[in-house]
Amino acid sequence: MVQSEQTLDTTDAVRNTQSYESGVVSRRGETVMVAGEGCWMIDSEGQRYLDMTSSQGVAMLGYNHPALTTALQEQAGRLHACPNFFHNDTRAAFLQALIAVTPPHMTRAFLANSGAEAIDGAIKFARLATGRTEIVAARNSFHGRTVGALSITWNPKYRRKFQPLLPDVEFVHFNDSDRLDAAVSDRTAAVVLEVIQAEGGVHVGDADFLAAAQRFCRERGALLVIDEVQTGFGRTGRWFGFEHYNLEPDIIALAKGLGGGFPMGAVVYTSEVQESLFSGAHGSTFGGNPLACAAGVAALGVYRDGLIEHAERAGCRLRDALESAIGRRRVVREIRGRGLIIGIDLRTKAVPFLKTLMEEHRVLALPAGSTVLRLLPPLIIGDDEIAIAVEAIASTLPSSA
């Protein structure tokens, strides 16, 4: 009896958590996803859904990609755990591959398990490297839900019930260089920014603003931390979003696509930052797990073999197709983004349309803010799938001009 009550409670808790986390997609409550293949998720009834979300931006290679699946199987059969005080061949291979794709001035990496953990690591490293505590972040930012990451996440909905959070955080308007200028001082440890604010509504950073952020950091001895959790690994058509702006961040936070959907995160940083870290300054039991690293080696290999160029082309095709199908409709305020992160900003709430897309067209999409319908498809998306998604969106949104 007790056993079954516990089971029931647990099931409900899991379902509620999922509903909260993934917005409309699981609010339906009844859908049980059991498999995936390429850009498609498959439910327990055998229904196929075109996943224009990559499971919240992580399954960049789609589902059951042979390189990823084989790497995980092979590693699981060899060594699935290994403490950080031993060297491990797969971890070494992964670190080497990761450092090879980050800018040459970034030579160090700390391995974690999620985006929020990567952000927490970045905050700690910036504090140590500068001896300062103040962080400047942006309004509309989203950096995660651990206490550290939440402290620099703007939306009061996430923060309100958890005050007090970290002190010394100031939020400035995104893309407002004057306010940033006023906020960054010789007490600032770091300016932490996304180059495209993803959860906040798919707002693309202005080149002038981001260049100013780097300049203010350099002039005033603060570090520039770029959160690439959602924009990294080809999502924007380049390895990292900051490459569109020729930025040279001191620290980047990575997760989502890093392991092709296998949970992992990383903080990548300069040797100058490394100099300030003392033994025991940071650590993680699971960070650098061999299975995660095997997934990471496989994913980075696929990105390197042309997937990022494909993503750039696919992003242009998707964007063009959306512009011509719905760009002039009254309900559409703006279509924005870069590569395969696209936000369709509506003049009304996005959630009802997401529901229709899923229930009537079996196409999965995400909200971003209240009025933005966000597309984050797997980077492998092909022309046929683009056509299906665009047609579904076109028939879901009201057609009056």
DSSP-assigned states of every residue in 321-374 = HHHHHHTTSTTEEEEEEETTEEEEEESS-SHHHHHHHHHHH-EE-EEETTTEEE
Interacting residues with ligand PLP between 22 and 61 (CB under 6 A): none
State which residue, 225 or 229, has the beta carbon closest to ligand PLP: 229
Per-residue mark of binding to ligand PLP, 328-347 (x: CB under 6 A)? --------------------
Among 51, 134, 194, 385, binds ligand PLP (CB under 6 A): 194
Does position 266 interact with ligand PLP (CB under 6 A)? The reply is no
Q: How far is the CB of 47 from ligand PLP (least distance, A)?
A: 26
Question: What is d(CA 313, CA 37) in angstroms, rounded to the nearest whole number?
Answer: 22
Does position 142 interact with ligand PLP (CB under 6 A)? The reply is yes
- Any bridge partners for residue 110, and if so which? 267
Does position 119 interact with ligand PLP (CB under 6 A)? The reply is yes
Contact 324, 218 (CB under 8 A): no
State which residue, 62 or 115, has the beta carbon closest to ligand PLP: 115
Q: How far is the CB of 329 from ligand PLP (least distance, A)?
A: 28
Give the residue at shortest CB distance from ligand PLP: 115
Q: How far is the CB of 384 from ligand PLP (least distance, A)?
A: 28
- Any bridge partners for residue 374, and if so which? 343, 366
Does position 307 interact with ligand PLP (CB under 6 A)? The reply is no
Work out the burial of residue 243: count CB atoms within 10 Å of its CB; fewer than 13 is exposed, 13-18 middle, 19 or more buried. Answer: middle
Residue 40's nearest CA partner among 27, 53, 29 is 53
Question: What is d(CA 188, CA 217) in angstroms, rounded to the nearest whole number?
Answer: 8
Does position 262 interact with ligand PLP (CB under 6 A)? The reply is no
User: Within a 10 A sphere around the Cβ of 313, how many other Cβ atoms?
Assistant: 12
Does position 255 interact with ligand PLP (CB under 6 A)? The reply is yes
Per-residue mark of binding to ligand PLP, 206-235 (x: CB under 6 A)? ---------------------x-xx-----
What radius of gyration, in Å, describes the C-alpha atoms of the chain?
Answer: 21
Contact 372, 334 (CB under 8 A): no
Among 143, 179, 238, 319, binds ligand PLP (CB under 6 A): 143
Stretch that binds ligand PLP, among 35-43, 108-116, 154-162, 366-374 (CB under 6 A): 108-116
Return the structure tokens found at 21.
């986390």
Does position 385 interact with ligand PLP (CB under 6 A)? The reply is no
Question: What is d(CA 53, CA 23) in angstroms, rounded to the nearest whole number?
Answer: 12
Per-residue mark of binding to ligand PLP, 57-96 (x: CB under 6 A)? ----------------------------------------
Does position 199 interact with ligand PLP (CB under 6 A)? The reply is yes
Angle (CA) 171 175 181, round 5°: 65
Residues 6+ apart with CB under 8 A from 186: 220, 221
Q: How far is the CB of 370 from ligand PLP (least distance, A)?
A: 17
Q: How far is the CB of 199 from ligand PLP (least distance, A)?
A: 5
Question: What is d(CA 266, CA 255) in angstroms, rounded to the nearest whole number?
Answer: 6
State which residue, 199 or 325, has the beta carbon closest to ligand PLP: 199
Stretch that binds ligand PLP, among 82-90, 193-201, 276-284, 340-348 (CB under 6 A): 193-201
What number of chain residues touch ligand PLP (CB under 6 A)?
A: 14
Does position 144 interact with ligand PLP (CB under 6 A)? The reply is yes
State which residue, 192 or 390, has the beta carbon closest to ligand PLP: 192
Among 198, 210, 264, 267, binds ligand PLP (CB under 6 A): 198
Contact 130, 189 (CB under 8 A): yes
Q: Is the dihedral of CA 344, 345, 350, 353 positive or negative?
A: negative
Which whole-number Å values give the CA distances from 84 to 111, 122, 141, in the listed order?
10, 19, 32
Q: Which residues bind ligand PLP (CB under 6 A)?
A: 114-116, 119, 142-144, 194, 198-199, 227, 229-230, 255
